[in-house]
Each structure stands twice: as structure tokens, then as C-alpha cells.
Chains A and B, each alone.
Chain A
Amino acid sequence: MRKPFHAAMLILLVTGLFITAGCSTTTRNISTEEEIHYDEAYDFSDKKVIVDGLVEPLIARYRNSGDGYRPVAIVYPIANRTSEHIDTTGISDDIRGRLINGGIFRFLNEAQRGNIAQELDYQRNSGMVARDQIKQAKQSGAKYILSGTLRSIEKEEPKGIRLKKKKMNYYSLNLQLTDVETGLIDWTHSVDLAREASKPIIGW
């Protein structure tokens, strides 16, 4: 009589332990270099692939272009033409950072233009001693505009009798460098990504 009771209690205990372990919250640090995808949608690993794929050719194109002069550029927002709410400023910020650190370009800080104007105005009109004031008319003009478009094509399997449904997403980011003086496109390059994900149609 006792043995079956003990066995039942043991099974109950083990099951309880499994359930508790399954329900507990866990955290872990992951490397940003690691490629991780949970589904077919755009994620941080894609951003890294896109930035790497665009920056290297751009640096290679302008690295040996001359006398060490670093042209001034401005980044215009990367247009999002996908079906997802993607913050493309993350892509443009990374590209700009890599180009600055690569020593090829200098960049205007468009986002701070208003604050710069406000600061200069304050220095002029606040009674600041002249030697401490920033000299005006020293600001640079952009020789290049860096702009781009992120596009996507999504496809999913048509309706049918199946247990899993496949979805495919294709992303393409086209980056362009336009010469402000001539209006000509000086450089352009694209990075393409495609991923298929399969999701179960039936769950518990």
C-alpha cells in the first residue's frame, strides 16, 4: 500500500519541479556579434549585416581617393518602404559612426542645427566676452548627401491543409552618395537579405 503512494508522490514532485523550472524567469547576455533570429521579421542581426555590407564598399571606394582630405557629408533619413515599423535612424547612425571612425568622411550634425543656432545666439547676446565667443561663419557645408531606401517583399504560403505555415521576407537597402555640387550620384550600393521562417499553425 505504501509503495504505490510513495511512487505517486515522487511522480508528483518531479512533475512539479519540471513545471516550476519551466515557468521561472531566466536572463542571459548575448553577443551582439551573434546572429539570432526568432522569426522572419527584421531584427538587430539584420541591421548589422546591412551596415557591414554597405560601409566596407563605401570606405574602399573613398579610401584611396586622394590627398587625405576628408569631405563633409550629411545623412538624410533612410526611407522605410517596408511593411514593418522599422526605426531606420539606427541604420544611418551606425553607418555614420563607422564612416567617421574610418577617417574617410566628416559629418554635419543635422539634428543639432537648431541647438547650435540657439547657442550661437546666446553667445552673441548674453554679454559674453568676445574672446570666449565662438567665431561665426566657420560652419562647414556638405559636399555629399548620404541617403537610402529600405524596401521589403513579403510572401507567405497560400491557404491549405498543413501544420506549419512558411513566410518569406526579403529586404533590400540601397544607399546613395550624392554630390551636392553637381547633383550626380557619386556612389551607390545595395545589400539584400532574404529569410524564410516556418511557424506552427496549431498550438496548445
Chain B
Amino acid sequence: MVTNLFSFASLRPLIGAALLLVFFSGCTAGALRQARTDFYRNRVDEAAATLESDDGSRRDRLLFLMEKGLIYHRAGRYEESIKALLKASRLMEEQEKVSVSQQTGSMVINEWVTEYKGEYSERLWVHSYLMMNYLLLYKYEDALVEAKLALRRMREHSDALKGDYYTRALAALCYENLGLYSDAYIEYKKLAELMPNPVPAAPDLYRLALILGFKDEAAKYRKILPQGWEFSPKDGELVMFVGVGSGPVKIPGNIVLPPSIRVSFPQYKNRLVPHVQVMAASGTEPLVGTVITTDVSSVSKSALEERATLLMAKESARAAIKEAVAQAVGRKNDDVVVALVRTVLFLMEEPDTRGWETLPGALKLVRFRISPGAHTVQVRIQGGVSQTLTFDDIRIHPGARVYRSLRVSY
């Protein structure tokens, strides 16, 4: 019985099925491709419409939901973005279970047959975008829920995600909005320790140290306040979430060993991320602000690297299984059949290059101090595609914050 298993007659349907799999695996769903193309051609509404009633197959569902959430966010449809991203968040919880059937299939075919679970960084940014959406809708309690979930993810993968300063600053802001100053202070302090230059976190640390009565700490951070920054409790803030450029994409990497062993793995390739400066003025008066930036490409790479050991172990096991199959076929068939089987197995080894491709290359949290009242604010983006944007609807109440989201140079 076992001897017949590797005869050409019994292998024929398997080879046919495998060739079909090779053809279809490694393909991203058409709707997703179309939505991404529209998004990057600045046709955001068309991109949203393409994904509107499509959550994709089970295999790509998380990807669909993440892309949909970001596209809706870009379109200013924050409630719909929340719906999609909350679904993604729930799916991520469900995906913590390891599927035996999918893993068995992937040991012989490739990773494309498994459900996409998202890189650690992408899973974190689901919560970051949810935080942004809730803040833009002034739903501070919900934003805090997401802040806690984001910080939990950062604790789980502390090394890989420590470079995401943006999300940590956003989480601190969520604590601060609800008057949870001690928690906010702790996060700002961690941020100052992690950042190569702690100056952008200094104003928040100084302000909160004063509120909490930490005089020594306040004096310490006062010394490194950015130039022109003054603390007035009556001032409000214009908080801008700025996405810059295009995030990295995964490309295939290969190691080929004779006679036909192919070990493939995904790797990130950077896309265009221009160095951008964000400046603002209310009338003729320039606004003083701070900027905290996350290099999305760099954090994505760290997250993939953390998974690399596991990934390579699985790739090696798969290569060994395929070589064993090829050798077993070789014992019962002539060289032509063996060559055909080896070719199919070689082609089947396709790395999983699925990823959240509408992410920006950098995320900037820009916070401008602004006096209470009605303002027309001009925001100038310098670098990349330079542009000036006018916001004529900025109403600041004493001590309150107003939020806006931007995506530039992509």
C-alpha cells in the first residue's frame, strides 16, 4: 500500500492539485489589491467602496479588516473604521489558538494555506488606530481601553516593539485625558528612557510632575524643555496624528540548496518615507509643538526578526519533509517523474508575503499648544510633497484638546 502511494499513477492527481495550489497560493485577493491601488492613487472613497461588503476569505480576513480599518480612517469614517478594527481585534484573540489542520497543511505546502495572523507590530497598530479613532470622536474611555490593550501587546513583545514611541505616547495621552496622571507619567517616563532623545517627552513629564507634586523631577525636565515651550494651564492643544509615506512591504527571500531544496522566508522592503517637518501657525503666530515619531519600517522589521527563529525552524522542517517525499518518489519512479515532483515541491515553497500594506512609513504625534478660542490654523508640511493645509474650525476650550488626522506624502 505504502509502495503504491509514491507511484506515478497515484501521484498524478496530487501533482495536478499541487500545481493549482502553486498558481493560487501567493496571490492576494483581487479586491484587496484593487483597494490598495486605489488608496495609493488617492482614491480613498473608491478603495473603501471596494472593501465595503467584503471581509475576504477566512485565510485573509484579518488582512481585509486591517486594510479596511485604515482606509476608513483615512476617509474620515471613524465609526466604520472602529467597527472593522474591533472585528480585527476580536479575530486576533480567536487566532491565539493553533489550528492543527492549517499547520499540517502548511508543513507540506506553504504558509499561504494558513490564516494570516498579522505580525506583532501590525497587531499592535490595530489598537493604535482604534485609539486614534476614539480620540477623534472624543470617546476617551474607549480610547483608554485600547491604550491598555496596546500596552499589553508592548509588554508581550517588549524588545520588538520598544521602538514604537508613537503608540506609547498615544497611550499616555489617553491616561492623561481621564485625569489618570500617575499612569500617564509612568508611560511618558518609559518613553523618555526608550527614546534616543527624550526632549519631545519633556513638556509632558514637566507638566505632570508639577501636577503630581514631584518637584525634583519637574526641575529635572524643566532643564530640557524644547525652545519656546511655556506651560500655561489654560492653554489647549491641537493634537495631530500624521502618517507619512508608505509602510514597508514583504518580499520573498530564498535560500536554494542542491538538489532542489528551497527554503523561503519573507523579508521587509522599505518604501518611500520622506523626512517631513510639520509646522503650524494660527494667523501669523507660529505654534510651538512637540513631535514624537515611530519609524514603522524599523519596528516592522524588529517584529519580523523576533518571529524569525520560529519561522526558520518551520521552514527547515518543511524542507526536510519535502526532501523525504522526493526521495520516496525517486525509489519507485523514473527520473522524469522525480524531476517533475521536485519541480512542483520547489515551486510550492512560496514565502508568505502577506502584510498590512496601507500603513504609513512613519507615524508622528504632533502636539501644538494653542490658546483658548476659535482659530484658523495653517499646517505646513515640509519635505516629501510639501503642502499647506488650512483648518478653519479649530475651537479650543481652556485646557482641552482637539484632534485631527493627516496622511501625507504617500
- A81 interfacial by beta-carbon distance below 8 Å: yes
B96 at interface, CB cutoff 8 A: yes
82-136 of chain A: CB within 8 A of chain B? 82-85
Tell me the bound Cα distance from A80 to B86 in angstroms: 18
Q: Does A61 contact B (CB under 8 A)?
A: no
Collect the chain B residues with CB atoms within 8 Å of residue A199's CB: 96-97
| Chain B residues numbered 140-186 whose CB sits less than 8 Å from any CB in chain A | 141-142, 144-145, 148-149, 152, 178, 180
In the bound complex, CA of A129 to CA of B145 (Å): 52
Q: How far is the CB of B197 from chain A (nearest CB, A)?
A: 31
Residues of A within 8 A of B100 (CB): 202-204
**Proximity string of chain B (116-148) to chain A, C-beta cutoff 8 Å, 1 when within and 0 when not:** 000000000000000000000000011011001
Residues of A within 8 A of B10 (CB): none
Chain A 1-28 interface 0/1 with B at a Cβ cutoff of 8 Å (1 = within): 0000000000000000000000000000
Asked if B99 contacts A85 (CB within 8 A), the reply is no
The interface of chain B, by Cβ under 8 A from chain A, is 86, 96-101, 141-142, 144-145, 148-149, 152, 178, 180
Chain B min CB distance to A154 (Å): 8
Which residues in A have some Cβ–Cβ distance to B below 8 Å?
79-85, 165, 199-204
Give the chain A neighbours of B101 by CB distance below 8 A. Answer: 204
Task: Write the nearest CB–CB distance from A142 to chain B, whole angstroms.
Answer: 22
Q: Is the CB of A200 within 8 A of B97?
A: yes
Picked from A79, A83, A202, the residue with its CB within 8 Å of the CB of B98 is A202
B142 interface neighbour in A85, A165, A200, Cβ under 8 Å:
A85
Chain B interface SS verdict (over half):
helix
Contact between A201 and B145, CB atoms less than 8 A apart: no
| Docked-complex contact A201 and B144, CB < 8 angstroms | no
A106–B98 alpha-carbon span in the complex (Å): 54
How far does the alpha carbon of A82 sit from the alpha carbon of B101 in the complex, in Å? 35
Beyond A79-B141, A80-B141, is A202–B97 a contact (Cβ under 8 Å)? yes
- Chain B residues with Cβ below 8 Å from A80 are 141, 144-145
CB-defined A-B contacts under 8 Å, sample of 20: A79-B141, A79-B178, A80-B141, A80-B144, A81-B144, A81-B180, A83-B149, A83-B152, A84-B145, A85-B142, A85-B145, A165-B96, A199-B97, A201-B97, A202-B98, A202-B100, A203-B98, A203-B100, A204-B100, A204-B101
Question: How many angstroms from the CA of A79 to the CA of B142 in the assembled complex?
Answer: 11
Cα–Cα, bound, A202→B97 (Å):
5
User: Are the C-beta atoms of B99 and A204 separated by less than 8 Å?
Assistant: yes
Contacts of B145 in A (CB 8 A): 80, 82-85
The residue on A at minimum CB distance from B149 is A83
B142 adjacent to A203 (CB under 8 Å): no
In the complex, A78→B309 CA distance in Å? 46
Question: Chain A nearest CB: distance from B127 CB in Å?
Answer: 10
Give B82's nearest chain A residue, CB to CB: A85
Residues of B within 8 A of A201 (CB): 96-98
Complex formed: what's the CA distance from A204 to B148 in Å? 31
**What chain B residues lie within 8 Å of A165 (beta carbons)?**
96
With a cutoff of 8 Å between Cβ atoms, the chain B residues found around residue A84 in the complex are: 145
**How far is B180's CA from A81's CA once the two chains are assembled, in angstroms?**
10
Output the least CB separation between B185 and chain A (Å).
Answer: 17
- Which A residue's beta carbon lies closest to that of B99? A203
A38 → B minimal CB distance (Å): 13
Which residues from B are CB-within-8-Å of A204? Answer: 99-101
Other than the given A81-B180, A165-B96, 12 more pairs (CB < 8 A) read A79-B178, A81-B144, A82-B145, A83-B145, A83-B152, A84-B145, A85-B142, A199-B96, A200-B97, A202-B98, A203-B98, A204-B101
- Which residues on the A side are within 8 Å of B98 (C-beta)? 201-203
Minimal Cβ-Cβ distance residue in A for B89: A85
**In the bound complex, CA of A100 to CA of B402 (Å):** 39
When the two chains form the complex, which single residue of A79, A82, A83, A203 contacts B97, counting CB atoms closer than 8 Å?
A203
- For A202, the chain B residues whose CB sits under 8 A away are 97-98, 100
Residues of B within 8 A of A203 (CB): 97-100
List of A residues within 8 angstroms of B144 by Cβ: 80-81
Across the A-B interface, the 6 shortest Cβ-Cβ residue pairs: A83-B148, A203-B97, A80-B141, A202-B98, A85-B145, A204-B101
Residues of B within 8 A of A79 (CB): 141, 178
Distance A204 CA – B96 CA, assembled complex (angstroms): 13
B101's nearest neighbour on chain A, judged by CB, is: A204
Q: Which residues on A sit within 8 Å (CB–CB) of B148?
A: 83
Residues on B with C-beta less than 8 A from A82 are 145
Instruction: Give the chain A neighbours of B142 by CB distance below 8 A.
Output: 85
